[in-house]
Amino acid sequence: MIRFLLIFCFSLLAAGTEQLTWEGCVQEALQNNAKLKFAQQTYDSYRYAEFGSYNNFFPQLTGTLGYNYGTNGVSSVVVGSSSTTPAASSNFLGTLTLSQNLFNGFLDQAGIEQAKAQRRAYQAALDQAKAQMLADLKTAYGGLLIAQRQVALQQEIIRRRQKNLELVELQFNSGKENKGSVLLSRAYVNQSRYNALQATDNITTFRAQLAFVLGRDEPGEYVLVEDVPLSVLDKQADFVALALVTPNLKQAIAQEQAANSGIVMARSNFFPSFNLNASVSQFGQEFFPQGSRWFVGANLMLPLFQGGKNYYQTKSARENFKAAISTRKSLGRQLVSNLKQAYVTYLEAIEQLKMNESFREAGVKRSEIATGKYNNGLMTFENWDIIESSRITYETNYLQSQLNLISAEASWQFAQGKGVSL
């Protein structure tokens, strides 16, 4: 508890810093993360494309307004001459045309189904982008959080190493210790200062990573004042069931459905197309023309020979569908494997943290006892040094295991495709 209070105080003493919370970072990333914005905009594009796929089920109304000037083939007779000169005139034309397709080989319905499948695919891609953003945010946020704690720990180690050096020098001055022990203790002080410098540099690195995830142009001088929330690990995880609901597999299933619709669309070229048409026109040499005409009709178009184009398009669509099936099956197996690996890694990280916490507690207690013994001449410098160095190693390993746990939990959540809501 004392160390965490020191960490908190150290964070607040940093001049000109901005305090960030986990929830605040999540909301900022949802608004500004560049990759998430791209995924959202791409999804919106396909969502609008789905709306547009219904257009062929509605009548198509077209308006045309035209103007022409030139000869119309009508001859004008010139008096006293046998020659004729074509007359030039102005011609205006206004037309409204209404057409309705009644059948085109199921192309329109297949187009709608394909557009729906593509929209579902990019909905899954958006969900995957949310999961990726959350994993990236946890990794960067957790890295910065542990880096802050590492700086505080190194400052505490410097203080303790300096105090140990003073104790060794006192023993040396009283003739109870040798010069080598003094030099080694001084080297430990220098080493701890170097480690503190590295920890400070790590803060700069993780600030830059966090700024990227948050969508900030420049990394600021900020500190984190809240832990990363971790999920509870289910001891009875069903990896196959989890794989079925991942965004990656949903995307593969949607792409398979889109490829199946592509077969229907390719086959439609073998069927006739039947359309109804109606048109009304106004024409004349003055604007707006007064002459009128209209017509209604029906068109039946039957493709007889397209040079093999329809045949090979259909075969291509079938092979594309087979490839989509293979991709979906392969991806499903890979996702199950990824889930199992991420689960085991997270489980081991939980146990590693418990283990290192036990070592840290033991190291602190042994160090306190050993320092008292050395101060009273009941322990050699060599044995005391081993215990002191072990304590530092245990404390460092404990912090590293905290970071490992955050990273492992982020990977487990990402393997499941879990993100956050927009």
CA pair distance 112, 132, nearest whole angstrom: 30
- Determine contact, residues 126/246, Cβ cutoff 8 Å: no
pLDDT at res. 421 = 62
Cβ neighbours for 404, distance < 8 A, ≥ 6 positions apart = 349, 352, 353
Nearest alpha-carbon partner for 26 in 149, 128, 135:
135
pLDDT < 70 positions in the chain:
1-16, 72-87, 421-422
Largest CA distance in the chain: 145
Residue 196 burial (CB count, 10 A): 19
Reported pTM: 0.81
pLDDT at res. 6 = 46
pLDDT at res. 269 = 83
User: Residue written as tokens 């046998």?
Assistant: 82
CATH code of domain 2-66+103-273+307-416 = 1.20.1600.10
User: Residue written as tokens 């006892």?
Assistant: 369
pLDDT at res. 53 = 86
CA distances from 92 to 61, 286, 381 (A): 20, 7, 109
pLDDT at res. 406 = 95
pLDDT at res. 73 = 57
CA distances from 262 to 93, 110, 255, 282, 315 (A): 41, 7, 10, 42, 11
Judging by beta carbons within 10 Å of its beta carbon (0-12, 13-18, 19+), is residue 286 exposed, middle or buried?
Answer: exposed
**Domain extent listing, the chain:** 2-66+103-273+307-416
CA pair distance 178, 356, nearest whole angstrom: 34
What tokens were used for 223? 């500190």
CA pair distance 286, 291, nearest whole angstrom: 10
